[in-house]
Amino acid sequence: MVFARFPLASTNGRSVISVQRERPRPCRSRHVDEQIAGMRKLYKQLGWDFDELGLIVPERVKGFDRLIVMADTELTFDRAFDVCSHSFPCWRHRSCDKNRKHSTKDERHPKSGVYAIWVRDSIETDSDLRGLSADDIKRDGSIRTMTALERVVLEGIFFMETGGHLDRECVTYCTGSRYKDRGVPGARQDNEKFIIYWRDRSSKFPTLGPRRVIAV
């Protein structure tokens, strides 16, 4: 894992993610209020709104220790990805480009109201879900998984806290989001670059898997 030596500064007036000088305690040792404060810090440095009005935090489940708060109703995938691209090397497939009419349908989105989710505090995807296709997840009906926007925000908070990146060996299959043409967003690291691209809904292989979420 790579750690930044000093916080990043604003670049040409663009908001960037500043890496903390000291790594915080593991998420399993942090209380809810402490994790919300960390999310608020990220939002503040990026100039995003953080409105806790109506926020309901789901009950914490053993093994799910990372709290992600989606507290800006104007937050979009493009805004979140742009911040990442200004903060560290990023790339996204042209089908995911903001200039193409290729929007996703998301299981959850802050435009419908602020919310919070719990996810596993792990660098790689949930091992028990790897090898399942998006169609498998949908047929099961009982598994709630991360959206593309949530995955980008998770990348941001993890980078702020550690200077490192997620999905170094595996790919997060963002099955909580679906493209209109049956594609599903995927996120991973490749040669120190954060990549967003797409997979088919029927795709399945050992290193491709969703991240389960605990949501209200």
CA 97 to chain centre: 17
CB 57 within 8 A of CB 32: yes
Q: Is the pTM of this model over 0.85?
A: yes
> Residue 179's pLDDT is what?
87
Specify the pLDDT at position 95: 63
Tens-digit pLDDT string for the chain (216 aa):
333 333 434 455 689 999 999 999 999 999 999 999 999 999 999 999 999 999 999 999 999 999 999 999 999 999 999 999 999 999 998 766 554 445 689 999 999 999 999 999 999 999 999 999 999 999 999 999 999 999 999 999 999 999 999 999 999 999 999 988 778 999 999 988 999 999 999 999 999 999 999 999
- According to the model, what pLDDT value does residue 14 have? 84
3-state secondary structure of 104: strand
Whole-angstrom distance, CA of residue 62 vs CA of residue 24: 20
| Strand order across the beta sheet in which 90-92 lies | 90-92, 193-200, 183-190, 171-173, 208-209
